[in-house]
Structure 1
Amino acid sequence: MNLYGRVSICGVISEYTGVGKPGAPDMLNVIHKRVTIKGFLAMDYMSLFPEFVSTTIDLIRTGKLHVLEDVSFGLESVPSAFVGLFRGYNVGKRIVQVSMIKGSDTHDLPT
């Protein structure tokens, strides 16, 4: 973390069950680096959602934003994929691809 760094936190799915060690930051480092940590709820910004979707789709289409997908294949992978969400195993969007429709591209964006 940089000196005077800022951290925004929205969602901690791995902590919803209350099992295991919380993902709290190293508070000594937070103090020494004078870090600001601010939590927020996505619902606080729902009025901005349509603009967010439009801007995000444009950034993805132009290659300025890259999507991280953590993909598992097959219906049998659903239980482990679901458990992995709560254990913090995935990075990016967690997807279980149950089947592939011929001629389709799973990365097509809505128009």
Structure 2
Amino acid sequence: MTDEREASEDGRERPGSAADRRGRRAGSTPTGDGGKGRATAVRDGRPEKVSLPSRLIRFLREVIAELRKVIWPTRKQLITYTIVVLVFVSFMVAFVALLDLVFAQGVTYLFGT
């Protein structure tokens, strides 16, 4: 597999694929934790508390940003997927019902009533 990284103008390697970009974003903070689990901002080298409304607004912005990345199915795809799921669930219900019937007959034969 080839390395798809390119050199940018400032000499740093530029990620060439989406996986490379995700990897770079995940470890982009100085602590290497990806920014997860921190409720503080760093200012002048000291952590500063971030208010609850500020964190809530940031969370909602990130949710909206993630929802914009979603590839929503078309109406035709949605109908197709729904039919596939319903057929599969119907098949599994029939299969389990058949197994239940077979085991019930086997128990009745084995132990009698």
Q: TM-score, normalised by structure 1?
A: 0.21
Q: TM-score, normalised by structure 2?
A: 0.21
Higher-Rg structure is 2
